[in-house]
Amino acid sequence: MCNPACFTCLNPQASPGGDAKAHPMTAWQLASALRACRAQVLTVVPGFGVTPVWEALGRPMLSYHEEIACGLAHGASLAGVRSATLLKTHGLLKAANQVSSALSSGVRSGWVLLVFEDPLATSSDNILAARPFLRALNLPHLPCEDQPELVLAEAFARSERVGLPVAVVIDGRQMMSRDPDAPTPEPWTTVCPPVLPPSRDPQRHLVAPLLVPYQHEVLQARLAGQPADSVPRPELPVLPERAELRAWEPFFTAFQQHRPPFVAGDTTLSSLYGLPPFGCVDASTCLGGSLPIGLGALAAGVPEVWSLAGDFSFLSMGPLALLEAAQRNLPLKVAIFANGVAAATGGQPVNLDLLDLALAPYASRTRRLAPGQDPHPLLRATREAAGLQILVVDTRE
């Protein structure tokens, strides 16, 4: 085990192309260690090294995209339960946007990413080592060559101690050996304890340009082993005076009165309504990240969750997240603000026909709020309807 003060641990014995250990740990041992850590929400994207562990875990539900898988696990950790994500190194690169947002916002309960390397590209596009990328991300990480019960326990404890996700790097070749003495896997079950009371900490959880300097200082403190509270907390700015924001004010005035326990946003204009005087967003992450974060909070046991997204940000990731919601049968409520403009990235036009096309499979679950229409009835109907529900808010002038 490494020094607890070291947050970017290296493992020189596991260089790409090196020999696997003569007596490697098995997939069943790693799965048993994960169960012992009582991770309540688990996301898995199959691949080299991952699949045998998935088998040993009793074949829990798979995710089809790493960014959705990581966002869901992060949302669960923000809601106060332990989570874990299993994926290959290549998949971690796909999910880097979500992971970097988690480093900015932090976690409440432990989130551990089990990253499986394929040092000889046995089943990969190319040879790709995890550690250089983890160091570039500033993502705390540990090697795991044996004793997975100790390594994973330390990873979860460290994640909760510093308030950041932690990665565990595993040579996927170790998982490919069959353990003839391993028992038949029991099905993976998720039994979530009561979630922690909602934590509304916008200075840390709203990942947005207005708060980046403070959140970066907090990250540096955490990486240095110092408490986040050692960084002076700035005064929270109020909602900026911007004409395009005022078009959304009737919706958020009504939304305040229907305020659910958890609201997820992303780095679009709607998340600015997490600022005073509205305070309508609990956590925001990268562009398009609101839906995966919301799904994670639901998976953790939060009774009602809304995800807010702009039209451009929804198109970037939302359709994939809706498939995840349907697969997991999670009753997410989604509000999509359609103004035909990617305001967060410079005002590029958004083809709203694509939004209609993406939502076509969910037509029976979709409502539309026209400009000038009273939001209260549609908000109430969306809240009271069972299962996944979508409200498209037309904010065009």
Region 16-29: mean pLDDT is 64
Domain-terminating residue out of 176, 191, 216: 176
243 and 132 both lie in a single domain: no
In this structure, is residue 221 part of a structural domain? no
- pLDDT attached to residue 3: 38
Mind listing the pLDDT tens digit for each residue in 150-161? Answer: 999 999 999 999
Q: pTM of the entire structure?
A: 0.92
27 and 169 both lie in a single domain: yes
Mind listing the pLDDT tens digit for each residue in 177-186? Answer: 776 677 777 7
278 and 131 both lie in a single domain: no
CATH code, domain carrying 67: 3.40.50.970
Domain-terminating residue out of 132, 152, 176: 176
Please say whether the beta carbons of 14 and 171 come within 8 A.
Answer: yes
| E strand or H helix at 156 | helix 148-162
Measured between alpha carbons, how far is 64 from 42 in angstroms, rounded to an integer?
Answer: 13
Domain count along the chain: 2
Q: What percent of the chain has pLDDT over 70?
A: 91
- pLDDT attached to residue 335: 97
Measured between alpha carbons, how far is 60 from 63 in angstroms, rounded to an integer?
Answer: 10
Q: How many residues does the chain have?
A: 397
Mind listing the pLDDT tens digit for each residue in 107-133? Answer: 999 999 999 999 999 999 999 999 999
Q: Which of the four pLDDT bands, split at 50, 70 and 90, describes residue 15?
A: very low
In this structure, is residue 342 part of a structural domain? yes
Q: Is the pLDDT of residue 8 over 60?
A: no
Q: Which two tokens stand for residue 301?
A: 């046991």
Q: What percent of the chain has pLDDT over 90?
A: 77
Q: Which of the four pLDDT bands, split at 50, 70 and 90, describes residue 246?
A: confident
What single string gives the DSSP state of each residue in 161-190? Answer: HHTS-EEEEEEGGGGGS--TTPPPPPPP--
Q: Which of the four pLDDT bands, split at 50, 70 and 90, describes residue 299?
A: very high
In this structure, is residue 40 part of a structural domain? yes
In this structure, is residue 4 part of a structural domain? no
Please say whether the beta carbons of 26 and 182 come within 8 A.
Answer: yes
Residue 220 to residues 37, 88, 140, 224, 355, Cα–Cα distance (Å): 27, 27, 12, 6, 39
Selected residue with higher pLDDT from 19 and 123 = 123
In this structure, is residue 3 part of a structural domain? no
In this structure, is residue 186 part of a structural domain? no
Mind listing the pLDDT tens digit for each residue in 86-112? Answer: 999 999 999 999 999 999 999 999 999
151 and 40 both lie in a single domain: yes
Domain-terminating residue out of 176, 204, 228: 176
160 and 269 both lie in a single domain: no
Pairing between β-strand 341-342 and β-strand 348-349 as defined by DSSP bridges? antiparallel
Give the torsion sign (CA, 203, 208, 210, 216).
Answer: positive
Q: Is the pLDDT of residue 23 over 80?
A: no
Mind listing the pLDDT tens digit for each residue in 25-66? Answer: 899 999 999 999 999 999 999 999 999 999 999 999 999 999
Q: Is the pLDDT of residue 250 over 90?
A: yes
Residue type, 381: A
161 and 305 both lie in a single domain: no
- pLDDT attached to residue 185: 76
Pairing between β-strand 41-44 and β-strand 83-88 as defined by DSSP bridges? parallel
| E strand or H helix at 264 | strand 262-266
280 and 158 both lie in a single domain: no
Residue 349 to residues 242, 244, 344, 352, Cα–Cα distance (Å): 19, 15, 11, 9
Phi, psi of 196 (to 5 degrees): -65, 155
Angle in degrees, 0-180, between the axes of helices 375-384 and 249-257, rounded to the nearest 10: 50
Closest residue by Cα to residue 297 from 285, 308, 307 = 307
246 and 382 both lie in a single domain: yes
Q: Is the pLDDT of residue 196 over 60?
A: no
Q: Is the pLDDT of residue 218 over 80?
A: yes
164 and 259 both lie in a single domain: no
Residues 6+ apart with CB under 8 A from 76: 40, 41, 82, 83, 109, 111, 296, 297, 299, 300
Q: Is the pLDDT of residue 309 over 50?
A: yes
The separation between the first and the last C-alpha atoms of the chain, rounded to the nearest angstrom, is 59
Range of the domain at 363: 238-394
In this structure, is residue 208 part of a structural domain? no
In this structure, is residue 245 part of a structural domain? yes
Q: How many CB atoms lie within 10 A of CB 100?
A: 16
Residue 214: burial class (beta carbons within 10 Å; 0-12, 13-18, 19+): middle
In the DSSP assignment, the letter for residue 46 is -
Selected residue with higher pLDDT from 210 and 92 = 92
249 and 102 both lie in a single domain: no
Q: Is the pLDDT of residue 14 over 60?
A: no
